[in-house]
Structure 1
Amino acid sequence: MKDQPNRVSQLFNIQYPIIQAGMVWCSGWRLASAVSQAGGLGILGAGSMHPEVLREHIRKCKVATDRPFGVNVPLLYPEMDKIMAILVEEQVKIVFTSAGNPSLWTSFLKERGIIVVHVVSSVKFARKAQQAGVDAVVAEGFEAGGHNGREETTTLVLIPMVREAISIPLLAAGGIASGRTMLAAEILGAEGSQIGSRFAVSTESSAHENFKQRILDAGEGDTIVTLKQLTPVRLIKNKFYQQVQEAELKGASKETLDDLLGKRRSRHGIFEGDLDEGELEIGQVSAALNKIESAAEIVKDVWDEYCALKKSMCA
């Protein structure tokens, strides 16, 4: 099937409208460059990087691929001035912002020739992102791993509503890990898909092997959204989650929950492989994953299945 360029592939100058999510502790230069080399858009996850570490990953990514890649920046994280300065200094061309107000940095980035995409979990914030001047929006459903929307709107419901609310390019995220789900998202109104969990268990993912295996072992219902008093996050149920649940049932304050969370829970779980005390962030679609593959194999499999199914629908 001949590739059909759409607004997403044209915006990023990529072969396939397949975007790798910028996941903390998973999305280093090896994964981002591999996805980009395979024809998608690789994303560095700045949320788990100190500013100078981010600079190092940007430079290594440029050496590893001459194709476009981006950086995901959670706007609520500290040292934002330093991070933005590095993005400009290192001539990053594409930035995905999340977890914050897009109006804070969109103009700054666009004035310097950077394409800006913002991740949202509701129609309200999709409209605000478009008003802020972003070039595209990622609408992420409640199925997604990591930090999540308080509205609890699923991908199936969210994508059509956002499509009607905005005119700029729309990417779907949350529960997408195959060509079949990518095509479903397109039918709902998306022009491309952002994939997280499947890339989290890729060969090039910087996640610990313990974490990857736990994802592959996950069954239906093994993930849950918790810590809603702080910032909702979807994770695999484990000893840490049980501690959070017990604290919440006892009416723990935000301060108590914040102390319980600490500052390194996601690092312990995802990067260091502590399956008991770590925060194991992953999406519901983990229940459908059963093997570790290279990023190139994932991109090819997703695209081939998408094309085959689309062709059969039009036959």
Structure 2
Amino acid sequence: MKTRVTEMLGIEKPIIQAAMGWIARSQLSSAVSNAGGMGIIETSSGELDAVRAEIVKMRALTDKPFGVNVAQAFVRDPSIVQFVIEQGVRFVTTSAGDPMKYTAMLKDAGLTVFHVVPNLAGALRAVEAGVDGLIVEGGEGGGFKNPKDVSTMVLVPQVVAAVDVPVVAAGGIVDGRSMAAAFALGAEGVVMGTRMLTAAECPVHDNWKQAILSADATDTVFLNRAGPGPALRALRTERTTRIEKEGAPGGIFAEFADTQAVYFGGDLEAGVALTGQVAGRIDSVMPVAQIFEETMRDYDAVVARLPR
């Protein structure tokens, strides 16, 4: 498949892996790149020494393109731009901040830049900043969100109609059927986050993966809509149900408590497990390559069945 996204990024399949904090590192990201998609290394953990080491590992694990996400809300030091440039990275996604801040510097260094946006206003500002493309993120996806969430079905065509740069759809994308829907809305690529959590190569604890496999589409919660701080979508647990009902008196970030225990220790009550609504559509753990193969095959089948 060829789209402006695959052509820009030099990838075979128009699938980008979400930049999940602590998780989007070489073990998972190299598998994504080797399967023909775009693996992304995260910076939202703030552990830049570890990120540098992960980029080195990526070059040993894949000869395919990969990128880095600059999560501005979590990495506020402007030296992050020079850091990414020095690593020889050619593709950057920027998120959780103003695209005016880093886009010009990154593009002046010859990098391709996509910015993550939750609404039309953000998309127009990113285009004004000079980005090469947009990742348009619906509120059904997992992770940190704009409190005024808009679904992918509404947001993607709204943005596509207003901009000329390629759009990548994020939120609710899990297979060929949902990718076909995103393309029908005008997207030229998709992001997979929660589906990648359940990939065989994903380093998170099996308890989290099994919770996703057991989940219904209603088994996530949208938290902190009233602030302060960002809103987010997470797996429903006793902890997140309490936050949903009572709020987070100590601030939403205090509720994360021990992220490592959640992600890699399997204690889902030790913090917050960021998860999208598509958890309700995932029923198996598979290698990334198999996920992508099935996605592309099912995409073709869905498109072929559409009435003409």
- Cα 1:296–1:127 change in 2 (3 A) is same
**Per the alignment, in what secondary structure is the counterpart of residue 128 of structure 2?**
helix
Q: Contact 2:221/2:233 (CA < 8 Å) preserved in 1?
A: yes
* Per-residue deviation, 1:261: 2.3
Matched residues, number: 306
Match of 2:40 among 36, 39, 43: 43
* Per-residue deviation, 1:246: 4.6
Q: Matched residues in 1 for 2:121 and 2:190: separation? A: 20
* Per-residue deviation, 1:78: 3.3
Matched to 1:261, the amino acid is: E
Matched to 1:127, the amino acid is: L
Aligned residue in 2 for 1:211: 208
* Per-residue deviation, 1:247: 3.5
Unaligned runs of 5+ in 1: none
* Per-residue deviation, 1:26: 2.2
After TM superposition, list the pairs within 5 Å mapping 1:78-227 onto structure 2. Answer: 78=75, 80-227=77-224
Aligned residue in 2 for 1:276: 269
- Report which stretch shifted further, 63-72 or 264-273: 264-273
Q: Matched residues in 2 for 1:314 and 1:107: separation? A: 44
Q: Contact 2:114/2:133 (CA < 8 Å) preserved in 1?
A: yes
C-alpha RMSD of the superposition: 1.7
4+ long deviations beyond 4 Å: none
Q: Contact 1:25/1:271 (CA < 8 Å) preserved in 2?
A: no
Aligned residue in 1 for 2:235: 236
Match of 1:257 among 243, 251, 257: 251
Q: Matched residues in 2 for 1:75 and 1:268: separation? A: 25
* Per-residue deviation, 1:313: 3.2
- Structure number with the higher helix fraction is 1
* Per-residue deviation, 1:267: 3.3
**Per the alignment, in what secondary structure is the counterpart of residue 131 of structure 1?**
helix
Please, what TM-score do these two structures have when normalized by structure 2?
0.94
Percent of aligned positions that are identical: 35
- Cα 1:257–1:39 change in 2 (3 A) is same
Aligned residue in 1 for 2:294: 301
Q: Contact 2:93/2:113 (CA < 8 Å) preserved in 1?
A: yes
Q: Matched residues in 2 for 1:69 and 1:20: separation? A: 10
- Cα 1:243–1:67 change in 2 (3 A) is same
Matched to 1:232, the amino acid is: A
The Cα offsets for residues 275-294 of structure 1, whole Å up to 9 and x where unpaired, read as 11221101000011111111
Q: Matched residues in 2 for 1:141 and 1:199: separation? A: 17
Q: Contact 2:255/2:271 (CA < 8 Å) preserved in 1?
A: no
Matched to 1:271, the amino acid is: F
1:313 correspondence with 2:306: yes
Q: Contact 2:46/2:75 (CA < 8 Å) preserved in 1?
A: no
* Per-residue deviation, 1:240: 2.1
Q: Contact 2:43/2:75 (CA < 8 Å) preserved in 1?
A: no
Q: Contact 2:15/2:191 (CA < 8 Å) preserved in 1?
A: yes
Q: Contact 1:145/1:233 (CA < 8 Å) preserved in 2?
A: yes
